[in-house]
Structure 1
Amino acid sequence: MSVFGEFFVPSNAFALHETLDTVSDMVIEIERVVATEEVLTPYFWVSGRHPTRFENAVADDPSIQNLEQLDQFEESALYRAEWTSHIESVVYIYTEIKAVVLEATGTDERWELRIRFDDREQLDKFQDYCEDNGIAFNLQQLYDLSQPKTGGQYGLTPKQQEALVTAWHKEYFETPRESSLEEVADELDITQQSLSKRLSRAHHSLIGNTLIIESDSSNAQL
């Protein structure tokens, strides 16, 4: 059974530490990571600074290479790049134990990560690896799909649950809508773009953990 862990880790123990240290008021949100046998390719949003300053800082960061800007908006920009072997913890997560980083938000002080493990054994391997290599991954919350509490049983983070509940109370999902995305975002004190991404991820988790049946369901009767 899948296990979800939420971790805090100092920025110097994860990716893009030198960049975050150079441009200290910047926030990085990793949207997804494409993993192959040879390379890990993160897609991530950068906000809080003009893209040129971020790109200049990345040029001297050994944890990432082949940066490419995919899109740019008023408050943020979307990038694709490649992680290098300088961030062993990330490489280990994907290539050795096959866990998945569902969310990661980084500042100059720390990264907040949400990781999905296939089972407790996989989680134990990850924690043992961090301990053996002096990596300061601090577990903040742990839950699995069998726990009948809040949104954890559906794979939701507290922030995703808060966004869904707030949008529901403000009748954002009604037809016609009684409030706008901007009004819900103002209530949560976040940007519209952050709210949109948070709702999208929340819907993805809800569908994946309530409506989607794994491959073993081929013998199930309708």
Structure 2
Amino acid sequence: MSVFGEFHVPSNAFALHETLNAVSEMVIEIERVVATEEVLTPYFWVSEVNFGTFEDAVAKDPSIRNLEQLDEFQETALYRAEWTRHVESIVYIYTEIEAVVLEATGSNERWELRIRFDDRDELDTFQRYCHERNIAFDLRRLYDLSQPKTGGQYGLTSKQQSALVAAWEAGYFETPREASLEDVAAELDITQQSLSKRLHRAHRSLIANTLIVSASEPSQPT
């Protein structure tokens, strides 16, 4: 059974530390990582920063190369790049144990990651790997799909669950809506872009762990 782990990692023990340190107000959210035998290509959103300032900082950061902007909105932009150094743990996750980083958000203080492992043995292998190499992965939360009446049952992070509950309680899902995205974001003290992405990922997790899981199970007699 799949196991979900939420980890905190000091920014100086992970990728893009020099960039995050140089632009302290910035937030990076990894959308996905494409893995091959030779290179890991992250796609990530950057917000709360001047994009030119961010790109100048990346040019001096040895952990990343070949940065390319793909899309730009009012306060956020999507980039693609390649990991180089200081990403031994991420390389191991993708190439050796084939776990999946579902969500990763970085600031100048730390990275917050949510990783899906196929089972607890895979999780134990990963933790042992980090311990042997002094990689500071701090496990904050662990859950699987069997946990009842919690967001973890559906693969939700605590932030995603809070966003869904706040939006529901505010009437965001009513027709007509009783609250705007801006209203809910203000209540949670986050930007509208962050809330929008958090709700999108929450909906994706709910579908993946309810409708998709159910559809793959043998049909029951009616």
TM-score tier after normalising by the smaller chain length: over 0.9
Q: Which shows bigger deviation, 83-92 or 202-211?
A: 83-92
Q: Could you tell me the percent identity over the aligned residues?
A: 76
- Other-structure match for 2:15: 15
TM-score, normalization: structure 2? 0.94
Q: Secondary structure at the match of 1:93?
A: helix
Q: How far apart, CA to CA, are the structure 1 residues paired with 2:6 and 2:213?
A: 25
How far is 1:70 from its partner? 1.1
CA RMSD, 1 decimal: 1.6
Q: How does 1:12-161 map to 2 (within 5 A)?
A: 12-161=12-161
- Alignment length (residue pairs): 221
Q: How far apart, CA to CA, are the structure 1 residues paired with 2:188 and 2:21?
A: 28
Q: Which shows bigger deviation, 50-59 or 178-187?
A: 178-187
How far is 1:75 from its partner? 1.7
TM-score, normalization: structure 1? 0.94
Task: Please give the per-residue CA displacement for 1:116-151, whole angstroms capped at 9, x wherever unaligned.
Answer: 111001101100000000001011110111111420
- Other-structure match for 2:169: 169
Name the amino acid aligned to 2:173. F
Tell me if structure 1 keeps the 8 A contact 2:14–2:86. no
Name the amino acid aligned to 2:176. P
Tell me if structure 1 keeps the 8 A contact 2:15–2:85. no
Tell me if structure 2 keeps the 8 A contact 1:85–1:91. no
How far is 1:216 from its partner? 6.0
Runs of 5+ consecutive residues of structure 1 not aligned to the other structure? none
Q: How far apart, CA to CA, are the structure 2 residues paired with 1:147 and 1:186?
A: 31
Q: Secondary structure at the match of 1:41?
A: strand
Tell me if structure 1 keeps the 8 A contact 2:71–2:79. yes
How far is 1:178 from its partner? 1.6
Runs of 5+ consecutive residues of structure 2 not aligned to the other structure? none
Q: Secondary structure at the match of 2:18?
A: helix
